[in-house]
Amino acid sequence: MASDMIGKAQDILRLNDRGTYTVPTAGLYPFQWNWDSCLSALGLAQLDEARAWTEIDTLFAHQWDDGMVPHIVFHQPDDGYFPGPDIWRTGRAIPTTGITQPPVAAFCVRRLFDRAADRDMAAKRARALLPKIHAWHQWFFRCRDPEGTGLVAILHPWESGRDNSVDWDAALDRVPVEGVEPFTRRDTLHANPAHRPTQAQYERFIWLVQCFRDLGWDNTKLHAASPFKMVDPGFNAILIRSCSDLGDLAEDLGAPEIAAQSRAFAARGIDAMDALWSNEAGQYLCHDRAIGALVDSPSVGGLIAAFAPVPPARASAIAARIATLGEAVNFLVPSHDPSVPEFDALRYWRGPAWLIVNYLIADGLSKSGEQEIVERIVRDSVRLIEASGFAEYYDPITAEPCGGGQFTWTAAMVLEFLTERAAAP
């Protein structure tokens, strides 16, 4: 059974391989996505280590001069996706979007490096990536934390990866829609519209794109200008963990300055994260930097926080909170608390379970010694695949498969759960 599942996961990685990058799934997402690509490289490494490194090299070949690594690289034209390069107009020879995505690259590179059978190749390729990834991390703290708080803001829901989370509802209400150019969505041709963000959300997504485009995608201006400025604990935890992992990698590879600055970023971030903790919610919450207030929204963003080296008491509280959520759903981890009215079991990031989220949370909690809940998360992840195949996300109560099918990072995470964990000491 497990070997059958492993074989199917490998087939999906091959199916979505475009030679030097993978697409998340044909049709719905026909280009290279930033965090999809990095996490998928963990699975690719099982097929071909060199190919896994190439996945990340390809992404960083499209890094901007200021250090930003874009959320989509439009390698070849495809009318099946909206918004395409004609909307973003970032002026790059090979078009990219002008926003970023959760910075999992350093975490993934460290993991590829630690596991590599070909040590020479791994050292060579990781060493070449080090300064590029570090430049991205520096970009975050320079452009997305201009006041030096230790935490960065996302300026667009798409940057979080959790596009239509309930976390953004109130902030998006403050984003105007006047002046949004008429558009035709394509996502709803490929996926069930009931699984996708609403039209009202898309209008605000596009307003923000137009706003940043009008500023010439100048990252020295975007943070001040954006009406949407959100400090997401999940996003920051990923950045903090990546800084910490880059610090270790840089030390191993003889780059002490990168090591020292990365560790300083991570330490400062962990201290600052504590201001996002809510005793009432029993988890971390988002901070809306535009209005200076915590967002009372019990989403999985506050649980992904466990991916960072948070204090043990915080990790235990998150484990307890996930156990409580587990009483309301059959498959952990729901992307929103099922007990609140905004929960929607089918709609993208408003309730469904995602394997990559399960992986990040399980990894963090495992490091914190929360083995019992980790085992449940892993078990539920595998049960979702058994029940419904390699979907983009799943109803956490019925396991109904949602969004796109034959999904690359879902397949990669299955390989992680089944193969790497089994191989772990």
Rg, Å, the chain Cα set = 20
**392 is a catalytic site residue:** yes
Identified catalytic residue from 245, 288, 392, 416: 392
Residues in contact with 215: Cβ distance below 8 Å, sequence separation at least 6, in sequence order: 221, 222, 225
Reduced to 3 states (helix: H, G, I; strand: E, B; else coil), residue 285 is coil
Q: CB nearer to ligand DGY: give 122 or 355.
A: 355
Active site (annotated) includes residue 163: yes
What are the distances in angstroms from CA 60 to CA 56, 89, 135, 246, 296? 6, 19, 11, 15, 36
Element of type H or E holding 397: none
Q: Which of 163, 245, 288, 395 binds ligand DGY (CB under 6 A)?
A: 163
Give strand pairing partners of 122.
none
Q: Minimum Å distance from CB 186 to ligand DGY?
A: 9
Binding mask 181-200 for ligand DGY (x = CB under 6 A): ------x-------------
Nearer to ligand DGY, 107 or 158 (CB): 158
Minimum distance, C-beta of residue 271 to ligand DGY, in the bound complex (Å): 31
Q: In the complex with ligand DGY, which residue's Cβ is closer, 88 or 113?
A: 88
In the complex, minimum distance from the CB of residue 101 to ligand DGY, in angstroms, rounded to a whole number:
7
Using an 8 Å Cβ cutoff, are 381 and 412 in contact?
A: no
Torsion sign across C-alpha atoms 286, 287, 291, 297: positive
Q: What is the DSSP string of 7-43?
A: HHHHHHHHHTB-SSSB-SBTTTB-SEEHHHHHHHHHH
Closer to ligand DGY at the Cβ: 71 or 241? 71
Instruction: Report the candidate in 293, 370, 296 with the shortest Cα–Cα distance to residue 333.
Output: 370
158 lies in the binding site for ligand DGY (CB under 6 A): yes
Q: Give me the residue whose beta carbon is nearest to ligand DGY.
A: 158
Residue 18, amino acid: R
Q: Which of 17, 49, 55, 163 is catalytic?
A: 163
CA separation for the pair 66, 216 (Å, rounded): 13
197 vs 269, which CB is nearer to ligand DGY? 197
CB distance 259 to 251 below 8 Å = yes
Residue 180: φ, ψ to 5°: -70, 125
Alpha-carbon gap, residue 200 to 125, rounded angstroms: 43
Nearest CB to ligand DGY, comparing residues 141 and 228 = 228
Shortest spacing between CB 92 and ligand DGY, in angstroms: 17
Contacts (CB under 6 A) with ligand DGY, residues 19-48: none
**Which x/- pattern over 327-366 shows residues binding ligand DGY (rule: CB under 6 A)?**
----------------------------------------
Three-state DSSP state, 292: coil
**Least distance from ligand DGY to the Cβ atom of residue 354, Å:** 12
Q: How far is the CB of 71 from ligand DGY (least distance, A)?
A: 6
Hey, which residues between 70 and 109 contact ligand DGY (CB under 6 A)?
71
Residues at the contact surface with ligand DGY, assessed by CB under 6 A: 71, 158, 163, 187
Active site members: 163, 392
